[in-house]
């Protein structure tokens, strides 16, 4: 399990996240959810398929999540289960440098999500999720609004 890996390997994973990783949360429209959105947090690592073997060794340190080969030749390693995300963050947070703000925002969003009971709580959660637009490099991010 991840808890047993050395601090050197934890810092390596944090550096990999800083350099070739992404932290984000999607608010996906979905009418089957209470307020019409599914909240989906992600931690994703990226690597060229040319380096898939070395990338697999790095991913084996994590022991959670799954790999996906994209059509553009990029291999993604995706951690999407909330419990696994929380565990991963606890291990690498002390070593993260460039994505400290994203880690802090993700932790805040997970806490807000767990406490979200009312429509007002959920609106605050959506506003907080939208703050990733300011931290991450994405032209496709849209500001979400809830419909009455």
The SS3 assignment for 23 reads strand
The torsion angles phi and psi of 140, rounded to 5 degrees, stand at: -90, -10
Query: Three-state secondary structure along 61-98?
Result: HHCCCEEEECCCCEEEEEECCHHHHHHHHHHHHHHCCC
Q: 1 pLDDT exceeds 60?
A: no
Q: Rounded to whole angstroms, how far apart are CA atoms 113 and 107?
A: 10
Domain that holds residue 85: 2-135
**For residue 71, what is the domain's CATH number?**
3.10.28.10
Report if residue 143 sits inside a domain: no
Report if residue 9 sits inside a domain: yes
Report if residue 148 sits inside a domain: no
Report if residue 146 sits inside a domain: no
77-102 confidence digits (pLDDT tens): 999 999 999 999 999 999 999 999 99
Confidence of residue 148 (pLDDT cuts 50, 70, 90): very low
**Number of domains present in the structure of the chain:** 1
């Amino acid at each position: 399990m991840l808890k047993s890996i050395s601090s050197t390997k934890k810092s390596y994973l944090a550096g990999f996240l800083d350099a070739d990783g992404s932290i984000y949360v999607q608010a996906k429209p979905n009418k089957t959810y209470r307020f019409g959105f599914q909240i989906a947090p992600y931690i994703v690592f990226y690597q060229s398929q040319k380096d898939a073997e070395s990338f697999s060794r790095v991913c084996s340190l994590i022991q959670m999540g799954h790999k996906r080969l994209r059509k553009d030749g990029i291999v993604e390693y995706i951690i999407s289960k909330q419990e696994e995300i929380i565990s991963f963050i606890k291990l690498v947070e002390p070593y993260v440098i460039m994505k400290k703000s994203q880690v802090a925002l993700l932790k805040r969003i997970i806490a807000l999500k767990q406490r979200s009971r009312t429509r007002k709580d959920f609106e605050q959660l959506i506003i907080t999720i939208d703050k990733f637009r300011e931290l991450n490099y994405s032209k496709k991010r849209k500001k979400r609004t809830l419909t009455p």
